[in-house]
Amino acid sequence: MSDNIYDDVMRNESEGMKTDRVEMTVDIYESADCVRDHDFRTKTNTQQPLQRTGSDSVRNRSSRAAAVCVVLLCVLLLTAVIVLCVHIYTKSTNYTEERNQLLTKINNLTEERDQLINDIQSYDGWTYYKSSFYFMPNETKNWTESRRYCTERGADLIIINSTEKQDFVKNMTGSAIVWIGLIDRDVDGTWKWVDDSTLTSGFSFWGSKEPNGGTRENCVVTVAVPTVPAWGNILGWLDVECSLHFQLICEKIISQLTLP
């Protein structure tokens, strides 16, 4: 009797345990299926919005980039237009100022030209040659008086510093003997012109064996035609006593003209 009861109890417990295991297994499988289903839905729901959001983000970034490029292009274009306008205005202003300055210079030169023409016309008896005026009065004086005569007229005794000028003097003087602006009064043998420049050997036109007067003859005349028997046939420059009387040539450079 006891044994039967024990066997019944054991069977019942064994069957109960099997039932519990089956139920637990079912519960586990159902839980796993729920988890997989939940994960699948979660992944599906998560991936689809992300894909849509990524595409929209790319489009938004592209739109913003295009808008920025258009704005930058407009800014650059506007800047270029402003710079061009400023450049044109500045150039126009500069051209206007330069034109006005040029017109002023032209007017000043015109006035100076007219004044110079008036001055030239007032120089009766003066001869124009290479930017200077020359005058040879028909009277004789010593060297000092001759220079004073020229300086009182805004000129000075002629300076001869080229072959062309020496030839010009020959044609101007003819057979006359004339004083020129060359002396060695300060230091014997050191010849200087009236502008205090020293005579150079390259532009001297001394006659044969001249100068030969030593400390007694300190002033210079030029001779184009031999007219003094005592001097023989010497032509060119001669040193003579400054107290002698001869004609003279005054020279007035254009730059020395006094304009009002």
pLDDT of 199 above 80? yes
Backbone angles phi, psi at 81, to 5 degrees: -65, -45
More confident residue, 204 or 122: 204
pLDDT in tens, 174-193: 999 999 999 998 899 899 99
Nearest residue to 242 via CA among 200, 192, 180? 180
The confidence score (pLDDT) of residue 201 equals 73
Task: Tell me the two tokens of residue 132.
Answer: 């200077």
The confidence score (pLDDT) of residue 144 equals 97
pLDDT in tens, 123-171: 678 998 988 999 999 999 999 999 999 999 999 999 999 999 999 999 9
How deeply is 153 buried, as exposed, middle or buried, from its count of CB atoms within 10 A (0-12, 13-18, 19+)? Answer: middle
**CA separation, residue 181 to residues 58, 87, 100, 126 (Å):** 100, 60, 45, 18
- Separation of first and last alpha carbons in the chain: 167
In degrees to the nearest 10, what's the CA dihedral of 220, 222, 225, 228?
Answer: -10
The confidence score (pLDDT) of residue 11 equals 55
pLDDT of 65 above 60? yes
- By DSSP bridging, strand 177-183 and strand 156-157 are unpaired
Task: Tell me the two tokens of residue 101.
Answer: 């300055």
pTM: 0.56
At 112 the three-state DSSP class reads: helix
Highest mean pLDDT among 20-29, 62-71, 103-112, 227-236: 227-236
Place of tokens 């003066």: 126
Identify the band that residue 2 occupies on the pLDDT scale cut at 50, 70 and 90. Answer: very low
Neighbours of 147 (CB within 10 A): 21
Q: What is the mean pLDDT of residues 212-234?
A: 91
Q: What is the mean pLDDT of residues 198-207?
A: 87
The β-bridge partners of 221 are 179, 238
The confidence score (pLDDT) of residue 74 equals 83
| HSE value, Cβ hemisphere, 13 Å, CA-based, for 248 | 25
pLDDT in tens, 76-109: 888 888 888 887 877 777 778 888 888 888 888 8
At 253 the three-state DSSP class reads: strand
Domains of the chain: 127-253 (3.10.100.10)
More confident residue, 6 or 179: 179
At 129 the three-state DSSP class reads: strand
pLDDT in tens, 13-62: 455 554 555 455 445 445 545 445 544 454 444 444 444 455 667 667 77
